[in-house]
């Protein structure tokens, strides 16, 4: 029997067939690209972590440099206790690997309480120094902001910092990813003389070099500066107990 190509049945059938074909093609393309997307994300995160400890690298040597400097990675719970550790090569399929914790996704999940989140920490060795790196995420003016802050072996002195954003205003909030904003964090302290966590204040109106607990905010980028300030204070607060315990152990050695 001849098919009536002008009938509604044929039109609907053809449309359904095209949806199935296109859907299958898109699904195949997505699955095919997923390994490459995962590899790109791993490289990007590696570069950010390395940047926080002042190691220059690029996509061609990101993995080599990462494994050279990052000796161990761990996940802390909200109480500051280590619940997972890994060394060596990262497996994208290992959901318990601290490297694979999506801190941005967990932060954006309104149903996930802070005490149910995972808090990665990275241990590094560079020029004979023991360093730790902490990832963090927060909110800027137009979207998420994030970064990595590294501390020296005293768990107090900032060794380096790197920040990034999704959609901050060029020339204003977007400057959090520029050296002019990141470099002043070096050498700042997150604890005061009473061993109280004070974080690093992103101070509007300027922070003099004599203030070891503050950096200058971004002119015209008040909301983003406040976002970085909140991000630092909230994130470091979770690691506070662990830092103090490790600092005491170091002092006893």
Per-residue pLDDT of the chain (253 residues; tens, 9 = 90+): 555 556 666 566 667 777 777 666 666 555 554 556 567 788 999 999 999 999 999 988 999 999 999 999 999 999 999 999 999 999 988 999 999 999 999 999 999 999 999 999 999 999 999 999 999 999 987 788 999 999 999 999 999 999 998 754 554 457 888 999 999 999 999 999 999 999 999 987 667 778 899 998 887 778 889 999 999 999 999 999 999 999 876 665 5
The CA–CA distances, whole Å, from 144 to 50, 139, 165, 218 equal: 21, 5, 6, 17
Local structure of 92: helix, strand or coil = coil
Q: Please state whether the predicted TM-score (pTM) of the whole model is above 0.75.
A: yes
The rounded distance, in Å, linking the Cα atoms of 29 and 142 is 31
Domain ranges in the chain are: 70-252
State both tokens at 249. 């152990």
Furthest C-alpha separation in the chain? 91
């Amino acid at each position: 029997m001849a098919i009536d190509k002008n009938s509604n049945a044929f039109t609907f059938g053809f449309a359904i067939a095209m949806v199935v074909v296109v859907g299958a093609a898109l699904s195949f393309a997505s699955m095919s690209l997923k390994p490459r997307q995962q590899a790109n994300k791993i490289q990007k995160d590696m570069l950010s972590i390395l940047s926080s400890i002042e190691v220059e690298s690029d996509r061609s040597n990101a993995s080599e440099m990462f494994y050279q400097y990052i000796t161990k990675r761990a996940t802390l719970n909200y109480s500051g206790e280590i619940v997972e550790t890994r060394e060596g090569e990262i497996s994208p399929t290992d959901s318990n690997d601290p490297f694979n914790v999506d801190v941005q996704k967990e932060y954006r999940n309104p149903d996930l309480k802070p005490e149910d989140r995972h808090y990665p920490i990275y241990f590094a060795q560079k020029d004979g120094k023991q360093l730790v790196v902490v990832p963090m995420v927060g909110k800027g003016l137009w979207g998420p902001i994030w970064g990595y802050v590294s501390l020296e072996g005293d768990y107090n002195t900032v060794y380096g910092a790197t920040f990034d954003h999704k959609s901050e205003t060029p020339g204003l909030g977007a400057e959090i990813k520029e050296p002019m904003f990141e470099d002043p964090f070096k050498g700042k302290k997150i604890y005061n003389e009473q061993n109280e966590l004070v974080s690093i204040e992103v101070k509007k109106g300027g922070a003099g070099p004599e203030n070891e607990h503050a950096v200058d905010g971004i002119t015209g980028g008040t909301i983003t500066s406040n976002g970085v300030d909140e991000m630092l204070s909230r994130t470091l607060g979770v690691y506070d107990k662990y830092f103090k315990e490790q600092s005491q152990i170091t002092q006893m050695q």
